[in-house]
C-alpha cells in the first residue's frame, strides 16, 4: 500500500521504524534532538524515544563519529548524522582509518555496523562551506558501502539493509530532495548493490545519481520532444558500482553522458567513464560525455550557484553533442 510522503518524512519514518524494531538502534548528531534535525528529519523523535536514543552531540564531527564507531564495536547499531558533507571531512580520519579498516585489520574478527547519514549538494544558497558534492571521495574507500538515494522509496527502503550490514554504510541525502513528494510503499525492498533504470531509451544512456536525477529525467523528456530516446540510469549505489547495469545500457544505446554534481577533475563521472571504456569500448559510437559542476567553490548568489551546477540545458547539449546533433 503506497502513500504520498516527502523525502524528509520517508527518511524520518525509516529511522523511527528501525528504532521501534530494534532497541540497539539510536541516532546521534548535531541538533538531531531538541531542534529536530537541521532538515527536520528527526523532528519529534526525542519526545518519542528519549535522550538516550536521540543524542544531541557537541560540534565535533570527529568526536561523535568516533563515539558512534565505538558504539557499533560494542554491539549497538548507531545512525550518525553529519550536518553537511563539507563538515564530514573533520570525521574523515574516523571513517577512513577506523570504520573502513577494522574488519581487514582484525582479520575479520571485528565489524562496525554503523550508518553515517550525510546531507550533500547545492541549490539552497548555503555557500562554499555547506554545498559541495564529495560523494566520490567516500566511494573511493574500500571497506565502505556508499549510497545516494534519489527517490522517496529508496530513501526509506535503503536504511533497513544498511543497518543490517555488518560493515559501515555512508548514505548521502541531497539537500534539494528533502521537500520532494512521491509515493512510498513501506513493504518494498531494495538491495545495496544495484543501479536502477528510471527511464528506458534506445539512443543514449544518461547516467546520474542523487540530486541530479530529476534534472536528468527532465532533460530526457525534452530530448524526446526532438525525437531522441534517452535511457536514464540512477546509480544510487556508488560503492560498489553496478557495472553490469551501466554496460548493458551503453551496449544498447552505444552512447553515454554522465551527470555528476561533483567537480569534473577526479570525479565519480570520471570513474564511471573509465569503466565504460574498459568494459564497453567496442560498443561506443561516440566519446563518453560528462556534465559536472564548474571547477570553483560553490558560489553564494543564486544566479552564480545555478551557473556552477549541472542544469537541464547542459545535459541536453551534451546528449546532442554525443549524437552529432
Distances (CA, A) of 173 to 44, 78, 298: 20, 17, 18
- Per-residue pLDDT of 76-118, as tens digits, reads 999 999 999 999 999 999 999 999 999 999 999 999 999 999 9
Catalytic residue among 81, 130, 135, 305: 130
The burial class, CB within 10 Å (0-12 / 13-18 / 19+), for 286 is middle
- Told to judge if 61 belongs to the known catalytic residues of this protein, a careful annotator would answer yes
Q: Supply the CATH classification number for the domain 2-185.
A: 3.40.50.970
Give the β-pairing of 54-56 and 25-29: parallel
268-280 and 243-253 helices cross at what angle (nearest 10)? 60
CATH architecture label of 196-322: 3-Layer(aba) Sandwich (3.40)
Residue range 222-245: average pLDDT? 98
- Picking from 107, 182, 178, 190, the residue whose alpha carbon sits closest to that of residue 147 is 190
Distances (CA, A) of 80 to 115, 143, 234, 281, 311: 6, 17, 25, 41, 31
Residues 309 and 315: their CA atoms lie apart, in Å, by: 11
Q: Phi, psi at residue 71, to the nearest 5°? A: -65, -40
Residue range 261-267: average pLDDT? 97
- Per-residue pLDDT of 16-47, as tens digits, reads 999 999 999 999 999 999 999 999 999 999 99
- Domains in the chain: boundaries: 2-185, 196-322
Task: Report the SS3 class of residue 161.
Answer: helix
Q: Phi, psi at residue 240, to the nearest 5°? A: -80, 140
Maximal CA-CA distance, the chain: 60
Catalytic residue among 61, 135, 173, 271: 61
In percent, the amount of the chain with pLDDT more than 70 equals: 100
What does the mean pLDDT of the chain come to?
97
Q: What is the pTM of this model?
A: 0.97
Q: How confident is the model at residue 2 (pLDDT cuts 50, 70, 90)?
A: confident
Give yes or no on whether 2-185 and 196-322 have one common fold.
yes
Residues 140 and 160: their CA atoms lie apart, in Å, by: 23
- Told to judge if 303 belongs to the known catalytic residues of this protein, a careful annotator would answer no
Amino acid at each position: 500500500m503506497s502513500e504520498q510522503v516527502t523525502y524528509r518524512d520517508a527518511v524520518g519514518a525509516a529511522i523511527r521504524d528501525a528504532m521501534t524494531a530494534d532497541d540497539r538502534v539510536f541516532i546521534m548528531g548535531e541538533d538531531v534532538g531538541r531542534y529536530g534535525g537541521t532538515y527536520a528529519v528527526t523532528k519529534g523523535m526525542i519526545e518519542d524515544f528519549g535522550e538516550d536514543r536521540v543524542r544531541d552531540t557537541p560540534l565535533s564531527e570527529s568526536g561523535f563519529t568516533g563515539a558512534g564507531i565505538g558504539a557499533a564495536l560494542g554491539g549497538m547499531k548507531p545512525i550518525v548524522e553529519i550536518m553537511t558533507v563539507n563538515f564530514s571531512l573533520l570525521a574523515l580520519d574516523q571513517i577512513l582509518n577506523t570504520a573502513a579498516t577494522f574488519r581487514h585489520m582484525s582479520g575479520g574478527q571485528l565489524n562496525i555496523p554503523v550508518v553515517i547519514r550525510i546531507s550533500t549538494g547545492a541549490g539552497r544558497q548555503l555557500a562554499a562551506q555547506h554545498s559541495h558534492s564529495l560523494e566520490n571521495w567516500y566511494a573511493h574507500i574500500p571497506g565502505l558501502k556508499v549510497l545516494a538515494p534519489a527517490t522517496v522509496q529508496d530513501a526509506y527502503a535503503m536504511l533497513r539493509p544498511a543497518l543490517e550490514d555488518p560493515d559501515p554504510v555512508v548514505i548521502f541525502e541531497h539537500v534539494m530532495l528533502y521537500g520532494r513528494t512521491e509515493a512510498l510503499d513501506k513493504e518494498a525492498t531494495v538491495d545495496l548493490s544495484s543501479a536502477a533504470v528510471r527511464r528506458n531509451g534506445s539512443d543514449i544512456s544518461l547516467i546520474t545519481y542523487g540530486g541530479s536525477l530529476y534534472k536528468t529525467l527532465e532533460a530526457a523528456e525534452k530530448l524526446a520532444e526532438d525525437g531522441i530516446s534517452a535511457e536514464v540510469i540512477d546509480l544510487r549505489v556508488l560503492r560498489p558500482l553496478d557495472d553490469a547495469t551501466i554496460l548493458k545500457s551503453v551496449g544498447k544505446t552505444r552512447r553515454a553522458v554522465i551527470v555528476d554534481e561533483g567537480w569534473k577533475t577526479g570525479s565519480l563521472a570520471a570513474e564511471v567513464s573509465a569503466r565504460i571504456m574498459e568494459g564497453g569500448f567496442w560498443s561506443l559510437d561516440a566519446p563518453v560525455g560528462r556534465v559536472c559542476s564548474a571547477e570553483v567553490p560553490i558560489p553564494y548568489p543564486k544566479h552564480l550557484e545555478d551557473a556552477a551546477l549541472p542544469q537541464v540545458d547542459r545535459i541536453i547539449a551534451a546528449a546532442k553533442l554525443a549524437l552529432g546533433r
